[in-house]
């Protein structure tokens, strides 16, 4: 199906580090034939390529701090909401602050590409830490060390959690239990999304 006849879908994945945003976002993008955009992956590519943005972002990422909003917005907004961009997408890891969300919303309204739903993956602290430490051992990702993981979770709680109220206020929020096997979590998300999209008459 080409881009003009296929139903558009625009989703956002929220959740603490380790909750499964990247894992589930990849699967949802495949299922709904949408582009998967992970700001974490985009930033890691910039770091690997040694671009100016990568050099600016790396110290923040290594510490487990959020990268400053202006750098993120410059990287994401035109790429995702520019006139040439894919109209269906699953955003994973963006926005992470209310300021990022508001700036994205202003541009999305202008181009008629607002979101259909926001999926928030809920997972207990201990399980978040266990998953990230396991990935750190297996893949050696620089920010999956014990101390950095704890700091990333703190950053999430102080700067990203307020987004839940923001999206609930826009009646977009779907909270999904992220415990259990990857397939089980996908099934829960797809069921919740199907209900939401049919209620919205899509
Ligand atoms: P991200 O790459 O987004 O890292 P993350 O929050 O840890 O999520 P990720 O998607 O990797 O992990 P997932 O939960 O899928 O960000 C990295 C850094 O980039 C940030 O700290 C920040 O510095 C910067 N950044 C990115 N976006 C930004 C923004 N918008 N603003 C500012 N800064 C930004 O998976 C974790 C592990 O769990 C995996 O190993 C996976 O295999 C496993 N897993 C998943 N589901 C599972 C399940 N059901 N059971 C068992 N294991 C599971």
Q: What is the pLDDT of residues 150-185, one digit of tens each?
A: 999 999 999 999 999 999 999 999 999 999 999 999
* 8 Å CB contact between 177 and 12: no
**Mean pLDDT score, 75-98:** 94
Q: Does residue 17 sit in helix, strand or coil?
A: coil
Å from CA of 201 to ligand 1 middle: 32
Give the pLDDT of residue 185. Answer: 98
Å from CA of 15 to ligand 1 middle: 9
Alpha-carbon span 13 to 9, nearest angstrom: 13
For all residues of the chain together, what is the average pLDDT?
Answer: 94
> Mutate which of 12, 16, 17, 177 to test ligand 1's pocket (most atoms within 8 Å of Cβ)?
17
Å from CA of 37 to ligand 1 middle: 12
State the SS3 of 86-139. CCCEEEECCCCCHHHHHHHHHHHHHHCCCCCEEEEEECCHHHHHHHHHHHHHHH
Give the pLDDT of residue 1. Answer: 46
Ligand 1: residues within 6 Å at CB? 17-23, 39-40, 43, 60-61, 64-67, 72, 93-96, 100, 131-132, 135, 143, 152, 181-182, 185
**Mean pLDDT score, 179-200:** 94
Alpha-carbon span 109 to 88, nearest angstrom: 15
Alpha-carbon span 150 to 64, nearest angstrom: 8
Å from CA of 21 to ligand 1 middle: 6
Query: Which residue's CA is the closest to the ligand 1 atom numbered 43?
Result: 131
- Examine the pLDDT at 202 and tell me if it is beyond 80: no
CA geometry: angle at 181 spanning 160 and 63, to 5°? Answer: 35
Give the pLDDT of residue 29. Answer: 98
């Amino acid at each position: 199906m080409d881009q003009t006849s296929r139903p558009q879908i625009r989703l956002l994945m929220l959740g603490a580090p380790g909750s499964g945003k990247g894992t589930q976002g990849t699967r949802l993008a495949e299922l709904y034939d949408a582009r998967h955009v992970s700001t974490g992956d985009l930033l890691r590519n910039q770091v690997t390529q040694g671009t100016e943005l990568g050099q600016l972002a790396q110290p923040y990422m290594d510490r487990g701090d959020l990268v400053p909003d202006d750098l993120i917005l410059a990287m994401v907004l035109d790429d995702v909401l520019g006139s040439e961009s894919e109209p269906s997408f699953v955003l994973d890891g963006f926005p992470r602050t209310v300021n990022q969300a508001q700036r994205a919303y202003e541009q999305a309204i202008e181009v008629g590409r607002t979101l259909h739903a926001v999926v928030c993956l809920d997972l207990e602290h201990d399980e978040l830490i266990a998953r990230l430490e396991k990935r750190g051992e297996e893949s050696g990702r620089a920010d999956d060390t014990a101390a950095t993981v704890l700091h990333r979770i703190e950053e999430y709680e102080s700067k990203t959690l307020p987004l839940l109220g923001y999206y609930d206020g826009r009646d977009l929020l779907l909270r999904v239990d992220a415990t259990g096997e990857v397939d089980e979590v996908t099934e829960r998300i797809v069921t919740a999304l199907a209900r939401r999209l049919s209620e919205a008459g899509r």
